[in-house]
Amino acid sequence: QLIMQKNFAVHKFRLQTIADQAPTLIRMANSLGMFDFFNNQWEDFVQSDQESLWGGQWLAWVHPDDRDRVMQE
């Protein structure tokens, strides 16, 4: 189990490194539909830190006219 945890940590680090080098916004959601990964370009885009995007807080950055549609997608 320790080896699996170490491998997971390595793969997570690799994913973060690759995603942070991409010139685009990247996010991923968990099985509940909550976003649980944002690359660093999101911080530049919203002019805030990643903590402001966790737990559904990212919705504050969506224009009010678009929020209902975004939540349904």
Tell me the pLDDT tens digit for each residue of 7-39.
888 998 998 899 999 999 998 888 877 788 888
Q: What is the mean pLDDT of residues 49-63?
A: 76
Arithmetic mean of pLDDT over the chain: 84
| Full-model pTM | 0.62
The larger pLDDT score, comparing residue 53 to residue 70, is at 70
8 A C-beta contact, residue 52 and residue 44: no
SS3 53: helix
Q: Are 49 and 56 in contact (CB under 8 A)?
A: no
The answer, yes or no, to whether residue 55 has pLDDT greater than 70, is no
29 in Cβ contact with 36 (< 8 Å): yes
What is the C-alpha to C-alpha distance for residues 53 and 18, in angstroms, rounded to an integer?
20
